[in-house]
Amino acid sequence: MTVTKLIKKGYNILLDSGFVENSVCKRLNQIEGSIDYNQKCTLILGSTGAIGLQVVNNIVASVVGPSKHVDLNDCQTTLILIKRKDTFLGESLYAINEYNVFFEEITRQIINIELKHPAMVIHSSFISKRKTCSKVVSVYEIIYPDSSNWSTIFKTWRNNINNLCLPDYKKLTGLVSCLGTTKSKLKHDNLGYKGKIASQRNVDYELNFSLIKAVSNASLKIILLTSFNSYTLGSSVPYFKNKLDLEKDVSSKLEFAKIFIVRPGPYVFCSFNYEIFEKYALNGSLDYRSFMSQIIAYNFYKTHVSKFFGYCVQSYDVSKAIELALFSIDDDKHSNHIVYIQSKNM
């Protein structure tokens, strides 16, 4: 065996995420041709995060916005978002709807609800301005500050106690989880190393799993955003172990019609190194993890070094991959139940 082959084999065992998978990866362009947004109802966890918000924006843009991707005359899509605080969705949608040219908001209804804490559901509907078609995106935003109670909310919704005025649970067709600790403020908390690791697991694994479990059923499709991984990372670094445990438990302990596991490398958000410094290092305190991840992503994107970090990828490609997987039509009865999507597949 040559030295190159030996290095390659060593790399595969230690770092390549393919090593911990048991299903073949599919290239995303294979499913791009057939996607259907109509009559779909999707619950999105982590919709206020960098990727989650892009997923929401992409879906709205694809259905009622300028995108030429969807060529359906009539289309009705529903999104259900759950948030800890009211982040005005309209503001982020403004970026893709400048001067109000592509779509308009036709309803905005705010419903205050009495739960353990004051809660609110904002229901907005957006329609395309193209008069020849009737396309509607309906968005329900549940605002409830205590996320440890979200699974109880989902359980009551599932049991037909619909005090949240949401669409019927039985109409739910998809679940996306982009929930995680990337921009988490754990570093500000006085937790100590062990406390921070436990806190990270509470979100990345415990909260995520309990929410997914609360809504799971055998006819639902799930798109789970985790991270690139490897045998070495997954067995020694807590962050990667959490991601791996979540993937394993969602795949083996819960029932889903189809499971897409999205495993990107570090993703590129910023356009300049200075922007990364400004955002993550110069604003009072250093957000070390996000800073390093952004420096690596931006500087190694499309270089040979990129593969050592699970291949750096543009954040837009990650959110687009999630959208395509979510609305892809799967006619092939023999296709894999679990599909892994890595940076290389996006």
Ligand X SMILES: NC(=O)c1ccc[n+]([C@@H]2O[C@H](COP(=O)([O-])OP(=O)(O)OC[C@H]3O[C@@H](n4cnc5c(N)ncnc54)[C@H](OP(=O)(O)O)[C@@H]3O)[C@@H](O)[C@H]2O)c1
What residues between 173 and 212 interact with ligand X by CB under 6 A? 178-184, 203, 207
Rg (CA), the chain: 20
Report the site for ligand X in 63-102 (rule: CB under 6 A).
Answer: 84
CA nearest to 260, candidates 155, 203, 178:
178
Minimum gap (Å) between residue 181 Cβ and ligand X: 6
Residue type, position 268, single letter: V
Shortest Å, Cβ 266 to ligand X: 4
CB of 262 to ligand X, least distance (A): 8
The residue range among 45-53, 72-80, 168-176, 275-283 that interacts with ligand X, by the rule CB under 6 A, is 45-53
Q: Which stretch binds ligand X (CB under 6 A): 35-43, 48-56, 97-105, 320-328?
A: 48-56
Q: Which residue stretch of 20-28, 93-101, 245-253, 261-269 sits at the interface with ligand X (rule: CB under 6 A)?
A: 261-269
CB-nearer residue toward ligand X: 117 or 170: 117
Return the number of the residue (128 or 290) whose C-beta is nearest ligand X. 290
Q: Which of residues 135 and 263 has its CB atom nearest to ligand X in the complex? A: 263
Min separation Cβ 126 and ligand X, Å: 21
Amino acid at 292: M
Report the distance separating Cα 21 and Cα 23, nearest Å: 6
Q: Measuring CA to CA, how many Å separate 342 from each of 25, 59, 93, 195, 252?
A: 8, 21, 28, 31, 20
Q: Tell me if 189 sits within 8 A of 181, measured CB to CB.
A: no
20: its two tokens? 């911990």
Distance in angstroms (rounded) separating the CA atoms of residues 52 and 318: 10
Q: Which of 18, 49, 66, 238 binds ligand X (CB under 6 A)?
A: 49
When binding is defined by CB under 6 A, the residue of 25, 50, 72, 270 that contacts ligand X is 50
Distance (Å, whole) CA 149 – CA 214: 11
- Consecutive H or E run containing 247: helix 238-253
Query: Interface with ligand X by CB under 6 A: which range of 69-77, 98-106, 264-272, 320-328?
Result: 264-272
Assign 3-state DSSP to the chain and report helix, strand, coil percentages, each to 5: 45, 20, 35
> How many Cβ atoms are within 10 Å of 192's Cβ, its own excluded?
9
- Of 203 and 257, which has the nearer Cβ to ligand X? 203
Which residues have a Cβ under 8 Å from the Cβ of 142 and sit 6 or more positions away? 80, 81, 82, 83, 119, 120, 121, 153, 164, 166
Closest to ligand X by CB, 31 vs 207, is 207
Spatial separation of the C-alpha atoms in residues 227 and 205, rounded to whole Å: 13
- Tell me which of 97, 293, 342, 345 binds ligand X, using CB under 6 A: 293
Considering beta carbons, is residue 17 or 77 the nearer one to ligand X? 17
> What mask, x for binding ligand X by CB under 6 A, covers residues 131 to 160?
----------------x-------------
In the complex, least distance from residue 4 CB atom to ligand X, rounded to whole angstroms: 29
238 binds ligand X (CB under 6 A): no
Nearer to ligand X, 184 or 232 (CB): 184
SS3 of 259, please?
Answer: strand
Residues in contact with ligand X, counted by CB under 6 A, come to a total of 24
Question: Distance between CA 230 and CA 210 in Å, rounded?
Answer: 25
Residue 306 touching ligand X (CB under 6 A): no
Cβ proximity to ligand X, 178 vs 325, nearer residue: 178
Confirm if 79 and 44 have CB atoms less than 8 A apart.
yes
Residues found near ligand X in the complex (CB under 6 A): 46, 48-52, 84, 147, 178-184, 203, 207, 225, 227, 264, 266-267, 293, 297
